[in-house]
Structure 1
Amino acid sequence: MKADMEHWASRLAALAAEAKVPGASLAFWHDGQVHKCAAGVLNTATSAPVLTDSLFQIGSITKVWTATQLMLLSEQGRTTLDTPVIDVLPEFRLGDQQAAAAITLRNLLTHTSGIDGDLFLDTGRGDDCLRRYVAACADAEQTFPVGDSHSYCNSGFVIAGRVIEQLTATTWDQALRDQICAPLGLTHTWTLPEDVLRFAAAVGHDEHGAVAPQWGLPRSVGPAGLICATAADVVTFGRAHLTPGALLADPAAMRQAQVDLPNPYAGGRQWGIGWSLDEWDGRQVVSHTGDTIGQHAALWALPEVGTVIAVLVNGGDSVAFQHHLVSELLQELHQLRVPAPLGPPAEPVEVDVDAFTGVYERAGSQIHVTSRDGRLCLRTEPTGILVGLAQPRTLDLTAVDATTFVGRTDGDSMWDAVVFENRPDGRSYLHYSGRATPKIS
């Protein structure tokens, strides 16, 4: 079906208003062309309008770009996904040096390294910032043994970025331009603020619509989440993953399942190389989302129908907004039904919750799980550099089955899924927000 862009511009504006999203940009590839529209403002303090060529922070979608860079180097024979990191970075150290010696590039790109990896450390603006970040990981602990499970790991992608620097003899930022931006003709994709400032760029906003206290993350976490781009550039990148030879000889290799996710209710059932993998209405969907300080991005690609969609926003109830928008869009274009997120069951489920209470902790977050009257309550507290940037959250949990719960904060329309895991060896984990958080007490 041909896209009616007057209709989609109207729906983008209406859905953004309902979700209190200050500004949004939509682009999608369908029927042989890129369609794009925009709505709202880049900054509530200035009322500068969002244009289709405005740049937003795409956050962790950057990880797919970093994974693509390593896949390109692998196709060129300069490394392999099963090369140990220490073979490229002999100086690589962790708190558990046996783990450091065992971690491969594949472990980094599939979040199976086990590194406790939400270290948002500012190591300066110099070209040596990734080298210094990797050196600072020498005390990082293991959440689980290498390859034993899946836990979203920002640090792993910074380490991957440093591998790229070593193999290309340049900075990660320059390698990104050389390997991806230049070949695809991307003129509105940048990583450093001095480059972004040459364009109309969004700022993040808090839940009340106020401008966020900080514009961006430090350069040292670049390979994990520092790209700024237009929605159209993100779509062009996504299309390259459906087109052999556009970048990679075999982009489908990145869409092959590598690990099942312990919490399959939060955006995907499996993980590939850099991509989250799912199935909607019988069709494969590869995707990634990205959160920065008050900005949120989402990229979906459907290989079987060739459609690629990118939605970039700078605040508001972003998750609900993006879900409603992509649901309407795919229903209109392909009569494809996007599954609703997991919610409470129709009938209450009785669960003995006492085994799940306690304190769970990982880098950047401490989670307290308490019970009252047979119900669980989860409260997250940011720690370290995230204090003041990430907000505490409290979820009253409702059981879906013996180990799966859902909850949402006041004002949110979407439910979050939480999965508890008690292992036979005595280890216990809480799987939430893509992370495996070990129980410490």
Structure 2
Amino acid sequence: MATAYCSPVLGPVLKKVSSSIWRHQNKIRCNPLVVVSSSDRFSKTALYFGRACTEKVNVKRMHKCSLSASYETLDEQPDSVHEEDEDYISRYTLIWRAVKLPIYSVALIPLSVGSAVAYFQTGVFAARRYFLLLAGSILIITWLNLSNDVYDFDTGADKNKKESVVNIIGSGSRTGTLIAAFMLLALGFGGLVWASIDASNIRALLLLASAVICGCIYQCPPFRLNYRALGEPLCFAAFGPFATTAFYLMQSHTRMELPITGTILAASILVGFTTTLILFCSHFHQVEGDRAVGKMSPLVIIGRRRGSVVVKVAIITLYTLLFVLGLSRALPFTCTLLCGLTMPIGNLVVNYVGKYHEDKAKIFMAKYYCVRLHSAFGVALVVGLLVSRMMINKPIIF
């Protein structure tokens, strides 16, 4: 009932009733001969509830005013509120970022492209060896991620990196994480050696060993060449000419050793190019932290704005190179056509980096757009090679 009294519609009526009751009560107080009847008692009760309800309305009005003032204060200080929201990242999101699942495309794409080139040239595909190499590659990429987190934790580069494995688990996990990383490296490289012995190809093993050495000198002390702006050339060599070519050679067998052809060199260059773009764009959101610890990444040297121009030039170079290799017939026409269809993704990378290169929160996603380009471009290469071979002859799978 009190709620009904407090409604906006009954407010004026309530006010009039309260005024008349108040006047009637004053008459009673002034005339002692007037006997208080039961109706008067009811009037007093009604007056009590009326006053209570009026006070309640006033309290609500005061509360609304205070809320409005609070909202105005928040509107005047949006930056602090947004910063607070940006600082908060759920543990689930941190774990997802630490796992870096999309980054494992850098294990899948070189292997798939190298195997597809071998299949294109010979019509032969060693499925069992492919999956053995895939397992070994995934373990080695995991070693790269874990050990990189440990070494960046040691130098302080990951001090504010919430998704670092060491920061998530705790600083006491540093040694355990490093031991686990090198155990994974031993298992992964063991798988590569096994596949090399199965393929009877020492050249492939030497190339894969060179790729792993690139990973070591990229991040491991005392080298740490990624602190001297040499991470990108090492990344290009490791995942492009070394790994992709090695996986191509792994598809050979004792009766047939594959030659190094223009097709595998062209494909490995393109794979190395898109992989290196992922690494380059991963520096955008870490410029301040890298500079503070003396890590001279390319973006620390040239800055974010020029870095966005480098990304644009890199994408243009990638597709120019694709069409040149297609015209020179180093790549089949189907590869050129299908890879050309990924240009909208390349354009997305350019526009995103160009728009948000100064926004530390949003530019974090740039590397994932590059992963999308890397994956789509690699799949297009694989499908183009497979279609070209199927147009020639029937495949052999063992």
Q: TM-score, normalised by structure 2?
A: 0.23
Give the greater-gyration-radius structure (CA). Answer: 2
**The structure with more helix, counted as a fraction of residues:** 2
**The structure with more strand, counted as a fraction of residues:** 1
Q: TM-score, normalised by structure 1?
A: 0.21
